Amino acid sequence: TDHSIATSNTGDPNSFAYCTSRERWPKILSSAIDEIRTTLQKVGLSKADVEAGKRIESQVTTLRSVMLSDGALQRIPGDGEADIEDYNIELDTLKDCTWLQSPWLYTECYMYRILHTFFSMSTPFWQSFDLFTTSKQQSLVDSKKGAIELVKRFRGMLKAIADKEAVDEATQKAIFEEMVQICLWGNATDLSLLTSLSVEELDSRQGKAVRESSKKNVVVDDTDQAWKLLSNLKSSGSSGIIHIVLDNAGFELLTDLVFVGYLIESGYAKKIVLHGKRMPWFVSDVNAPDLIYLVRGFADGTMYQDLDAEDNKELQDTGKYWQSLMDSGKLIYEADPFWTTHHPFGRMPAVSPSLFQELASADLVVYKGDLNYRKLSYDGVWPYDTPFSEVLGPLAKKHGGKGVRSLVLRTCKADVCVALEPGRAETLEEGWTRTGKYAVVSYWDAKS
């Protein structure tokens, strides 16, 4: 039941897929090789682990040269996980895929998936090794200034909503809008696009002033509709369950946790389910240890050095607060295998019916980031003014209330973008879908 729309292709010189596959992917694999080499230098690895590491290094090196010479995609060897079969079936269906002449979405997922098999079929040490951990953790450490500012703002907001009398409808709406902006622009700091961000650049992408001036860069803004939903939820006897399909670890995850705290404390959600990935994915996507690293690092005060006592306490209290949500089951983390398949989300009802049921029964599903957006929209080359519901395909269906009520918070870092007012795209600067400077807040109520 796929759309018949053409998809972004690495062979199209006018696409972002074109330079991504030729420039950024080889760089990502080079960094992977460096990371393996650095790890091999470390003392304490057993002889078997050193041998295994060298083998992985040579596998990644080969993968990289096949990519650079536009070789064919090979079937992925089975590592015992069921999703590999799906990748290989799709590869057969696509026929004659080479790295630089193939559907962007498929091939990029394929790259991270085959990379993972090198590790998953190695020794236990390498099986649990995440070659992106260092960069994911560093980005959070480098985000110190933005993180402190954000946590303070979060605590201030919690005080305001606790003081219910003082919060009128307009203020409540303003708080929601700010939370959406925070969570949205948190997505501007993913690591696969921004291979070398300095601390200054990170700061400038994360502060409040920037968020405000960035508002005009939100080219699709359904915040009002999402607000209407939330403000009705409390009175409608709903399930009180909201899902967040996460994107990146580090600063973005911090903004997501702020959003979580906001939704729970203001009574819009009783329980939040976070969806992460089961394996290292698109460089910076969240794996379970990344969430633990953040929450523990805040709770025990080890995340940042040289904080003044007051900031330190605020950060620790906040970390402990998130920990308490997890301990009480109000905040849950899941990593369904579906998220690391190549499938566009419209195939979810067929490919992963249980996950679809789970999402369809929720009050709201929030999708973060660019990759999720590409998967929601089949990475299609849609006219920019195509309605959002049209690209969603089966997820948009209202059959028996069984669609997924979706809110997307995404900074644009690819080719696809829809739901713009007719004529709007033409007024934007060249390359606007690619740089992360523009963003969309798209909402679709599949239940009403």
What does the binding site for ligand F6P look like in residue numbers (CB under 6 A)?
20, 24, 108, 187, 190, 192-193, 247-248, 282, 369-371, 374, 413-414
Rounded to the nearest whole angstrom, what is the least distance from the CB of residue 192 to ligand F6P in the complex? 4
Alpha-carbon distances of 125 from 48, 50, 339, 403, rounded to whole Å: 10, 10, 24, 42
In 215-308, alpha helices (H) = 223-233, 251-265, 288-299
CB-wise, 116 or 413, nearer to ligand F6P? 413
Q: Among 161, 366, 180, which Cα is nearest to 255's?
A: 180
Rounded to the nearest whole angstrom, what is the least distance from the CB of residue 35 to Mg ion in the complex? 18
The mark string for 280-309 relative to Mg ion (x by CB under 5 A, - otherwise) is --x--x------------------------
Rounded to the nearest whole angstrom, what is the least distance from the CB of residue 379 to ligand F6P in the complex? 9
15, 248, 287, 318: which one binds Mg ion (CB under 5 A): 248
What six digits make up the tokens of 154? 């979060």
CB-wise, 9 or 340, nearer to Mg ion? 340
CB-wise, 104 or 119, nearer to ligand F6P? 104
Rounded to the nearest whole angstrom, what is the least distance from the CB of residue 284 to ligand F6P in the complex? 6
> Residue 414's binding partner, choosing from ligand F6P, Mg ion, none, with beta-carbon cut-off 5 to 8 A by kind?
ligand F6P
Rounded to the nearest whole angstrom, what is the least distance from the CB of residue 418 to ligand F6P in the complex? 15
Mode of pairing for the β-strands spanning 406-411 and 439-444: antiparallel
CB-wise, 182 or 325, nearer to Mg ion? 182
Q: Do the beta carbons of residue 8 and residue 379 sit within 8 Å?
A: yes
247, 256, 290, 358: which one binds Mg ion (CB under 5 A): 247
Q: Among 158, 183, 176, which Cα is nearest to 227's?
A: 176
What six digits make up the tokens of 89? 């079936």
Rounded to the nearest whole angstrom, what is the least distance from the CB of residue 3 to ligand F6P in the complex? 19
Q: Do the beta carbons of residue 381 and residue 424 sit within 8 Å?
A: no
CB-wise, 319 or 369, nearer to ligand F6P? 369
Q: Do the beta carbons of residue 36 and residue 1 sit within 8 Å?
A: no
Q: Among 405, 402, 363, 407, which Cα is nearest to 267's?
A: 363
Total residues found in the chain within this entry: 448
Can you give the binding site for Mg ion, defined by CB under 5 A?
190, 247-248, 282, 285
